[in-house]
Structure 1
Amino acid sequence: MIAKAELHCHLEGSIPPALARELALRNGLELPPGLMGEDGFYVWKDFLSFLAAYDLVCTTLRSARDFGDVLYSYLAGAAREGAVYVEMFCSPERPAALGIAYGAWLEALAEAIDRARRDFGIEGRIIIICIRHLGPERALAMARAMVAEPHRYVVGFGMGGDEARFTPLDFAPAYRLAHEAGFGCTVHAGEVMGPESVWAAIRDLPVTRIGHGVRSAEDPALVTELARRGIVLEVCPGSNVALGLYPDRASHPLHRLIDAGVRVTLNSDDPPFFHTTLGTEYELAGLDEAALKRIARTAIEASFADAATRRRLLGEMEP
């Protein structure tokens, strides 16, 4: 089995139906019939129903322990598919809305990472993400909190949410603060919005990675620039197909980006919602074993883990 690594997965989006049922039962909640299919994935038919399903699943989270159990569950499943390293996107917005202190939330996540390492040998790290449509002031406050209360497993800063709202430049103060404090930086761009969103991100933010970024393939000059600068794309083909960006995997620009010299990684995004897993992404990428090993090594090289951890993981991977 090829050793794998993942850089783009959302904590709340990783909750499998079996765990959602368990959390609902624990917290005295009832999930509506029809939310979960018999195949172990969620049921939705369009973008709005996807968002509705996502929000319903998120309501099962009530305590710091719940968030930790989600992270442990994901790391356990990824390890069974050969993952040796995972960076998880974690937003403090939801725990804060539940009245969970930032430190208590982080400690629950850290305990899950430690437990997964003991049980499965997998390394986990956390990327704190702000939510774009909540605005730059909230993002700056989040970056300040992250910098003021550093944690050994918090290695990066990122941004998800509605790509059509605000501009990357609006978030430059938050990103500058995180970057100057030594955190790695990534941002969702070039998914819903086109190449111009990626140009703006690499021009105005100190990012070394782009979440998704696949619409870059529509602009040859941008593809050349990404390759020249070595910026890594966190590509999620299953997610892109499920949300209708491309009709099928054969139409996806993954291979074109690789052929143009762009550094890419393979990721699952919100796996139980998109009928995928990290292992499935590697299996259905249409690449040979050597190419998949290069992608896994790229993920470790582009990770925000400390240099010693990167060296160790790369040393343990087959060349």
Structure 2
Amino acid sequence: MTGAKQRDLNKLPKAHLHLHFTGSMDQRTLRDMAQVHGMRLPSALLSAEPLRVPADQRGWFRFQRLYDAARACVRGEADMRRIVDEAVAADAADGSGRLELQIDPTSYATRVGGITPALEIVVDEARAASARHRIDVGLVVAASRIRHPLDARTLARLAARHADDGPGGVVAFGLSNDEHAGRTPEFAPAFRIAASAGLALVPHGGELRGPEHVREVLANLTPTRIGHGVRLAEDTGLLDEVVRRGIALEVCPTSNVSLGVYPGIADVPVRELFDRGARIALGADDPLLFASRLSDQYRALRDVGWRDAELAELARSSIRASLAGERVKVSLLAGVDQWLATEA
């Protein structure tokens, strides 16, 4: 009923499994960094409106150009530590009890003396921020499709050296950027290196490209989870296979709309995935560009008809799909039950 009191989605315990390092910033932080470093920002990065681009190469190019402009403002250790701390704090305010923050250390290596110190800075700050904000934090080291596959192997070895399921440790290895770039089979050796170190495998797939891309990812990268995967709804046979294999999907509804994959939230096929038994973890992807954080994903679904019991089940799914320890999962799942038992 319009105007009726509703449960507070910021108090719904949940896990956040799809958040990129630079894209986690808010505009205030970006403006501060740009001012300190004497850099000019594109007006689109300062707009209160979310980015909207067509789902083609031109649209992706615009998104990537803006992302690169924001990343260029991250000039050193202090900036990197600030981003980690604020990302963890924002997630805690959103009710997240587990954050798995994704970073490509290569992007910041020249500013702090190499990829090893770049990752170690983030690991160190993630550990401190986890304790400071009382939220469990793990890191995902992600290679980029637009770089050489040998670079991915280097990152996989680095991730393996920092593999640790304690707060702030590296728990997974991913592959991001334009799904049209690179050849998926060429990244398989990097994923084997990561798997041999016990890391989960969480490549992007099935957002800009359809089910055929998910098939490539399944065949070559043996994913634990798939970043996005939303277009599996176009091939129910393949979706059923993913469900049978217990592969979770990191679905980012507002991102899908901003990148032109779907015209509106009601068109994002979360319901279709949910009804066929997919393990779904809602994610914000890049709040800086899409003007939407974790609780906003749940709020957006509520606005198109999802009931609180269903949103609670999505929160449970995110927690179960996370790489948190069993103690953390049990605590968060109990919190979901308590949230749902509370009168709206």
Per the TM superposition, whether the score is higher than 0.5 is yes
Question: Pairwise mapping of residues 141-152 of structure 1 onto structure 2 (< 5 A)?
Answer: 141-150=154-163, 152=166
Task: Give the direction of change, closer, same or farther, for the CA distance of 1:167–1:50 in structure 2 (3 Å limit).
Answer: closer
Task: Give the direction of change, closer, same or farther, for the CA distance of 1:312–1:106 in structure 2 (3 Å limit).
Answer: farther
1:49, distance to aligned residue in structure 2 (A): 2.9
Q: Which of 310, 318, 335 is the matching residue for 1:291?
A: 310
Q: Which of 185, 199, 202 is the matching residue for 2:201?
A: 185
Q: Which of 100, 105, 117 is the matching residue for 2:113?
A: 100
Task: Look up the equivalent residue of 1:280 and give its one-letter code.
Answer: D
Match of 2:341 in 1: none
Per-residue CA deviations over 1:52-93 (Å, capped at 9, x if unaligned) read 221111111011221121111111112112111111110011
Task: Look up the equivalent residue of 1:132 and give its one-letter code.
Answer: R
Question: Pairwise mapping of residues 43-62 of structure 1 onto structure 2 (< 5 A)?
Answer: 47=59, 48-62=61-75
1:310 and 2:323 are equivalent in the alignment? no
Match of 2:3 in 1: none
1:304, distance to aligned residue in structure 2 (A): 2.2
Q: Following the alignment from structure 2 to structure 1, what is the Cα–Cα distance between the partners of residues 224 and 330?
A: 19
Stretches of structure 2 that go unaligned for 5 or more consecutive residues are 1-10, 339-344
Question: Pairwise mapping of residues 1-319 of structure 1 onto structure 2 (< 5 A)?
Answer: 1-33=11-43, 35-37=45-47, 39=48, 47=59, 48-150=61-163, 152=166, 153-286=169-302, 287-318=306-337
Contact 1:210 1:232 in 2 (8 A): yes
Task: Give the direction of change, closer, same or farther, for the CA distance of 1:174–1:306 in structure 2 (3 Å limit).
Answer: farther
Task: Give the direction of change, closer, same or farther, for the CA distance of 1:16–1:225 in structure 2 (3 Å limit).
Answer: same
Structure 2 SS opposite 1:226: helix
Task: Give the direction of change, closer, same or farther, for the CA distance of 1:25–1:234 in structure 2 (3 Å limit).
Answer: same
Contact 1:87 1:126 in 2 (8 A): yes
1:33, distance to aligned residue in structure 2 (A): 4.9
Contact 2:116 2:158 in 1 (8 A): no
**Residue correspondences, number:** 317
Per-residue CA deviations over 1:297-318 (Å, capped at 9, x if unaligned) read 2222212234444344445543
1:145, distance to aligned residue in structure 2 (A): 2.1
Contact 1:191 1:212 in 2 (8 A): yes
RMSD: 2.1
Per-residue CA deviations over 1:265-287 (Å, capped at 9, x if unaligned) read 11100112112111110111132
Q: Following the alignment from structure 1 to structure 2, what is the Cα–Cα distance between the partners of residues 114 and 145?
A: 18
Q: Following the alignment from structure 2 to structure 1, what is the Cα–Cα distance between the partners of residues 293 and 25?
A: 12
Stretches of structure 1 that go unaligned for 5 or more consecutive residues are none
What TM-score do the two structures reach when normalised by structure 1?
A: 0.92
Task: Look up the equivalent residue of 2:74 and give its one-letter code.
Answer: L
Contact 2:14 2:315 in 1 (8 A): yes
Q: Following the alignment from structure 2 to structure 1, what is the Cα–Cα distance between the partners of residues 90 and 134?
A: 12
Contact 2:162 2:170 in 1 (8 A): no
Task: Give the direction of change, closer, same or farther, for the CA distance of 1:52–1:217 in structure 2 (3 Å limit).
Answer: same
Q: Following the alignment from structure 1 to structure 2, what is the Cα–Cα distance between the partners of residues 250 and 188?
A: 22
Q: Following the alignment from structure 2 to structure 1, what is the Cα–Cα distance between the partners of residues 53 and 279?
A: 32
Task: Give the direction of change, closer, same or farther, for the CA distance of 1:316–1:100 in structure 2 (3 Å limit).
Answer: farther
Contact 2:101 2:139 in 1 (8 A): yes
What TM-score do the two structures reach when normalised by structure 2?
A: 0.85
Task: Give the direction of change, closer, same or farther, for the CA distance of 1:36–1:292 in structure 2 (3 Å limit).
Answer: same
Q: Following the alignment from structure 1 to structure 2, what is the Cα–Cα distance between the partners of residues 234 and 34?
A: 26
Match of 2:4 in 1: none
Q: Following the alignment from structure 2 to structure 1, what is the Cα–Cα distance between the partners of residues 42 and 240?
A: 48
Stretch of structure 1 that moved more, 22-31 or 51-60: 22-31
1:163, distance to aligned residue in structure 2 (A): 1.2
1:123, distance to aligned residue in structure 2 (A): 1.6
Stretch of structure 1 that moved more, 188-197 or 18-27: 18-27
- Over the matched positions of the two proteins, sequence identity in percent amounts to 34
Task: Look up the equivalent residue of 1:61 and give its one-letter code.
Answer: V
Contact 2:163 2:199 in 1 (8 A): no
